[in-house]
Structures are given as C-alpha cells and as structure tokens.
C-alpha cells in the first residue's frame, strides 16, 4: 500500500508539473511570420469609454400598508415616520461625449434611483446627474463632471448584417469590466414586454445582469448598440441577447439632451397586423403591411385622405411589415419632418406626403403644462375605455408630484374645480398662475382624492 501511494504521488507530481509548464508557456506572437489575430488593440481604445453605473434607491418601509397612502395620513393627521431600506443596483454605461461628460445607459439601470454614481475603468468615481430618460425605448442619459474622458461616439447601426462579428463590453454581476464576443444573430427583433418601440439587434455574445447599458461594438471598434436584455428561461445566459441599435439611441439621446424628454411625432392612426382574412377582405395580395383601423380627426394622415382599411407598406423607403414596424418608425420621426407614406387601397398603390406633428392630446409631460407637474407624464385614456379624464402614466420619484401622492394609474378629472373629460381639455386649463394653488381632483381605483400643489 505505501508503494501504491508513492507511485500516485510521483504521477501527480509529473501531471502538475506538466500543467504548470503549460500554464506558464506563452502563445507565440506570430506563426510562420504571420501575427495572430487579436481584439486587444481595438479594445484598448474602446474599454476606457465603458463605465460602471451603480445606483442607490431609498425605499420606505412601514408597519401598515395604510401609511403608504398620503391621503390617509393627511386625513388622520398622521406624521410620516418611515423606516428606510436602501436598494442598490449595478449596470453599465458608455461615454458618448467626453467634453460634456454625457453617458448613455438603460433607463431600467437608473429608474427611480436617488443617487447615481459612475466608476471609470481607471478607478475614478463620480456622482452623476440624470439628464433625461425614456421608458419607451429603455434609454437614459446621465452626466458627470470630469476632464480627460474617453468617448465612444454612436455609429451607423443600419450597416449591420446578420453574421457580422460583434463584441459586448460591460460589468456583469459587478465583477468588473468584461469582454465577450459573438455575431449578430438577427436584426429587427421585437416582442419584449414593457417597451413601446422595439427594433433590437440580437446577438449570441454573452450578456448577463450588469451588462445593461454597456457597449456593443463591431470589429472596427464602432459603437453599434447599447446592450439591454437577455432571453433566459433559466436565469443564466443562453446565447440570446438584445441591444438597442445605435441609430435609435442617437435619436433618443439628442432629444433627451435638448428637451430632457423625447418629443415624438405622430401619424395619428391605429393599426394592426395583416392577416389572411384581411388580405382577402381588402382585396390586396401583399402579405405584409400595417392595416389602418382608426384615423384620428385632424391627424397628418387624416388630412392626407387615408382611412380605415388602407394598408401602409412603406414610410420614406423604410418597409412596414407589421404594426410594430410602423410604431418603431413613427417613434423616431422628428416633429416637423416631411415623410412619404406608401399605402394600398383596394389593391392599388398610392402615396401621400405628410408633415409630422406632435400629438399633445395623446401624450405630454407635465413640465410643459406647469412646473409643479415636473416628473409627471400624462396620456390619453384609451378610446375603448369608458373613463373620462387624463391618465397619469408616470410619476418620477422625488418630484413634487410624487411627494404629494400622485402615482401612475391615477386619472385627473378636474383642475382647480373645473372638470376635464380628455387630456386635450386638461391642457386647456393651463397655464395656472404660479402664485395660485394648483388643485387636482383625481380618481384612483374608483375613489376620489384632492391633491394640492
């Protein structure tokens, strides 16, 4: 038996010795006079522009759910003495303008955060301020004050093809900067829940939690996308990741920097996908297109003569295959732009040239009505609903509106005791003198409340 252990020990010594020898050996710089391919030179230029974004959100914890309702507290004159729990999250970002300190990231990375901090590749850490965010595309812009910043400007993602090699750079799981590679698996992907505008780049480059907001680059080191999400039935990476195209990010970022929000134009139509039954009923042979189901009065396409039953097939040379395609294109149309819309009617093709207008009676930020409503987003109540008023879609944490108790899902039915049946009527009640109290009557789950700002 001792002899057996001695032989095993000797064998293990040889194996480990071989292993150490292999581990310590370096790959040659070239083979047969030809240098080995490497991404290192490109990454040396790219990685300094990819940052770690970490946030803190203070969540109030109370012993009773009634304490979460500011109206309940005010009615019973109950002081707010909350306990706080601090939630932390990690993500990534890309410096896209070094001179101005602008960083592009995902909205879900910073959404609701009380504090945002950025750590650069060289270890420098800065507090960041929110410039603007857009939930519909899951993009946000933050700013830091610093000199000597590397930047990675957005490139033309429209040149990407399925099969192109790409590299993802980010900070997964808080491990620090990590690089993974793969190819473009598909283009124009949609179907992710929670986002209005979807035109994703699909890639098999590993994207994991913490990669959100990081860079997707091509082999020339150009920023072609912002990593956003993964498809994961098991919670781990299965080789299906999604990135927002740089062309979309460039448009959204410009709006956020200029206005602090995205101001979108509208064609003024509701559409649905083409089906076999609809093709037969409408007398068209095309299998693709967006079928108009409703045309809003006074909209750009209503003035151009389009009507329900027409099938939109193209907008400014961009094909429209389905309803999602039309929404994606519409979401990137600049207010005031002139576009050519190609459509089918009774199987015959026709075109209309229209000027894109902003439909403020469909969606508007509260700040454009009154500074006291900063942080609130108001939208039209869906036509199929029997409710009247203006629907609050979003309320930013920490805003004056949040502090007095306004929440997403509330419906404003009166302003300063004047009833409003639509968002358009609510707009007509502004401006309100700033030295005058702003009184809002809202409905929440069938109960009426009065909010004073």
Residue 32 falls in the annotated catalytic set = no
Strand duo 30-31 + 34-35: pairing = antiparallel
On whether the CB atoms of residues 417 and 445 are closer than 8 A, the answer is: no
Residue 108 falls in the annotated catalytic set = yes
Q: Supply angle C-alpha 244, 248, 319, rounded to 5.
A: 105
Straight-line distance from the first to the last Cα atom of the chain, in angstroms, rounded to the nearest whole number? 87
Question: Tokens 């091509």 label which residue?
Answer: 218
* Pairwise CA distance, residues 126 & 22, whole Å: 42
On whether the CB atoms of residues 392 and 410 are closer than 8 A, the answer is: yes
C-alpha dihedral (67, 69, 70, 72), degrees to nearest 10: -80
Residue 9 falls in the annotated catalytic set = no
Q: DSSP characters for 233-245?
A: SSSS--S-EEEEE
Task: Say whether 75 sits in a helix, a strand or coil.
Answer: helix
Q: Which two tokens stand for residue 406?
A: 């306004």
Cβ-Cβ contacts under 8 Å for 223 (sequence gap 6 or more)? 94, 96, 152, 153, 154, 155, 215, 216, 217, 246
Task: Say whether 89 sits in a helix, a strand or coil.
Answer: strand
Among 92, 212, 247, 299, the active-site one is 212
Question: Tokens 């080191």 label which residue?
Answer: 221
Q: How many Cα neighbours within 13 Å face the side chain of 151?
A: 17
Cβ-Cβ contacts under 8 Å for 431 (sequence gap 6 or more)? 369, 370
On whether the CB atoms of residues 82 and 62 are closer than 8 A, the answer is: yes
* Pairwise CA distance, residues 334 & 356, whole Å: 7
On whether the CB atoms of residues 367 and 374 are closer than 8 A, the answer is: yes
Among 92, 108, 204, 266, the active-site one is 108
Among 111, 134, 138, 359, the active-site one is 138
Q: Supply angle C-alpha 266, 369, 73, rounded to 5.
A: 120
Q: How many Cα neighbours within 13 Å face the side chain of 444?
A: 17
Q: Go through 362-385 and write b for each residue having 16 or more CB atoms within 10 A of its CB, e for each that does not.
A: bbbbbbbbbebbbbbbbebbeeee
The helix or strand, by DSSP H or E, that contains position 423, with its residue range, turns out to be helix 423-427
Give me the active site residues, please.
108, 138, 212
């Amino acid at each position: 038996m001792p002899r057996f252990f001695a032989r095993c020990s000797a064998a293990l010594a040889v194996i480990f010795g071989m292993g150490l020898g292999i581990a310590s050996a370096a790959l040659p710089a070239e083979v047969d006079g030809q240098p080995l391919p490497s991404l290192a030179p490109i990454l040396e230029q790219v990685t300094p522009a990819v940052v770690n974004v970490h946030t803190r959100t203070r969540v109030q914890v109370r012993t009773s759910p009634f304490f979460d309702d500011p109206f309940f507290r005010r009615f019973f004159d109950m002081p707010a003495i909350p306990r706080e729990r601090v939630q932390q999250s990690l993500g990534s970002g890309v410096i896209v303008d070094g001179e101005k300190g602008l960083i592009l990231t995902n909205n879900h990375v910073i959404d609701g955060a009380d504090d945002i901090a950025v750590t650069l590749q060289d270890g420098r850490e800065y507090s960041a301020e929110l410039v603007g965010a857009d939930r519909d595309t899951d993009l946000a812009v933050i700013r830091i004050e610093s000199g000597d910043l590397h930047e990675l400007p957005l490139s033309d993602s429209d040149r990407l093809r399925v099969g192109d090699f790409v590299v993802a750079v980010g900070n997964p799981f808080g491990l620090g900067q990590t690089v993974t590679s793969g190819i473009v698996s598909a283009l124009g992907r949609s179907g992710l829940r929670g986002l209005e505008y979807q035109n994703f780049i699909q890639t098999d480059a590993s994207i994991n939690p913490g990669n959100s907001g990081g860079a997707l680059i091509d082999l020339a080191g150009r920023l072609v996308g912002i990593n956003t999400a993964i498809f994961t039935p098991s919670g781990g990476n299965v080789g299906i990741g999604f990135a927002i195209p740089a062309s979309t990010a460039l448009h959204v970022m410009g709006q956020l920097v200029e206005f602090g929000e995205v101001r979108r134009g509208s064609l003024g139509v509701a559409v649905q996908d083409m089906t076999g039954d609809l093709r037969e009923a409408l007398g068209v042979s095309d299998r693709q297109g967006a079928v108009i189901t409703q045309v809003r009065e006074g909209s750009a396409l209503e003035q151009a003569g389009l009507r329900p039953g027409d099938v939109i097939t193209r907008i400014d040379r961009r094909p429209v295959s389905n309803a999602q395609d039309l929404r994606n294109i519409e979401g990137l149309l600049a207010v005031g732009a002139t576009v050519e819309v190609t459509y089918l009617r009774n199987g015959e093709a026709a075109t209309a040239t229209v000027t894109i207008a902003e439909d403020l009676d469909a969606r508007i930020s509260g700040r454009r009505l009154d500074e006291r409503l900063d942080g609130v987003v108001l939208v039209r109540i869906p036509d199929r609903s029997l409710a009247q008023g203006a629907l609050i879609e979003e309320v930013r944490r920490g805003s004056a509106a949040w502090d007095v108790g306004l929440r997403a899902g509330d419906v404003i039915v009166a302003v300063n005791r004047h009833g409003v049946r639509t968002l358009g009527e609510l707009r007509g009640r502004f401006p309100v003198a700033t030295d005058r109290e702003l009184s809002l009557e809202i409905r929440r789950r069938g109960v009426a409340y009065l909010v004073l700002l």
